[in-house]
Amino acid sequence: SAVISQKPSRDICQRGTSLTIQCQVDSQVTMMFWYRQQPGQSLTLIATANQGSEATYESGFVIDKFPISRPNLTFSTLTVSNMSPEDSSIYLCSVVGRPYGYTFGSGTRLTVV
Amino acid sequence: GIQVEQSPPDLILQEGANSTLRCNFSDSVNNLQWFHQNPWGQLINLFYIPSGTKQNGRLSATTVATERYSLLYISSSQTTDSGVYFCAVGSPLPTNTDKLIFGTGTRLQVFP
């Protein structure tokens, strides 16, 4: 299965600032997915990132707040912009491969103060 | 969109006990996966099981796609099994994008 390196692993940020999260995959993948997990909750898909095209955002998530880049088939970034305490969550990237299914990065634990 | 419900929401076991976790989904799926999220937040892929039965050591899973449910069995539980178990499904509709929809989760605590 693919190996994903995600960083930073955690950060504490001031409200109003932005944080960029990076995910590097050890193999080429067509689609990468970004998820958010709010405290004590399940995972919610933010967007799907395809190389060479704009990301596809799920209902409730907008590009201005969560801009995504996908410059090549092994790398993607998610930026959390103009942060507020409500953005405190774990953010995870994921890729899919056959036949092993989905693999997740180790997550970025974000606290906004 | 597709709904994914898991039961029970919480489960407390003594070490050595067996348990069954259930995942119900509201529509046809083209994939299903079980994950274990450990206390450090890492999501570990347990099974990729859109249909049929698979076993891996003390864990096994069965998906009956026609009846829209999946079961995860944990035998002889250990304290290291503690954490949250998620079922996640992929739907071919409205477009087959491979995205996963996560269930509500089952929080398992195993005590020595």
Dump pLDDT digits (tens) for A34-76.
999 999 999 999 999 988 788 999 999 999 999 999 999 999 9
Considering CB atoms only, which of B33, B41, B42 is closest to A101? B33
Write out pLDDT tens, residues B59-108: 999 999 999 999 999 999 999 999 999 999 987 655 556 788 999 999 99
Hey, is the C-beta of B65 within 8 angstroms of any chain A C-beta?
A: no
What is the predicted pLDDT for the residue at A2?
85
SS3 content of chain B, % helix, strand, coil (to 5): 5, 55, 40
What is the predicted pLDDT for the residue at B29?
87
Write out pLDDT tens, residues A64-109: 999 999 999 999 999 999 999 999 999 999 998 666 678 899 999 9
Residue B40 neighbours by CB under 8 Å, 6+ apart: none
In this structure, what are the phi and psi dihedrals at residue B88, rounded to the nearest 5 degrees? -140, 140
Contact B42 A106 (CB under 8 A): yes
Q: What's the CATH number where B53 sits?
A: 2.60.40.10
By a Cβ cutoff of 8 Å, what residues of chain A touch chain B?
Answer: 1, 31, 33, 35, 37, 42-45, 48, 56, 90, 92, 94, 96, 99-104, 106-107, 109
What percent of chain A stands above pLDDT 90? 82
What is the predicted pLDDT for the residue at B76?
97
Report chain A's mean pLDDT, rounded to a whole number.
93
What percent of chain B stands above pLDDT 90? 76
Q: Which residues of A touch B47 (CB under 8 A)?
A: 101
Tell me the domains of chain A and their CATH numbers. 4-112 (2.60.40.10)
- Binned at pLDDT 50, 70 and 90, residue B41 comes out as confident
Q: Which residues of A touch B101 (CB under 8 A)?
A: 45
Number of domains in chain B: 1
Full residue range of the structural domain in which residue B53 is found = 4-111
Contact A102 B101 (CB under 8 A): no
- The chain A residue lying nearest B100, using CA atoms, is A45
Report chain B's mean pLDDT, rounded to a whole number.
92
Asked if residues B102 and B88 have their Cβ atoms less than 8 Å apart, the reply is yes
In this structure, what are the phi and psi dihedrals at residue B66, rounded to the nearest 5 degrees? -65, -25
Q: A4, A36, A104, A106: best mutation site toward chain B, by most B Cβ within 10 Å?
A: A104
What is the predicted pLDDT for the residue at B92?
66
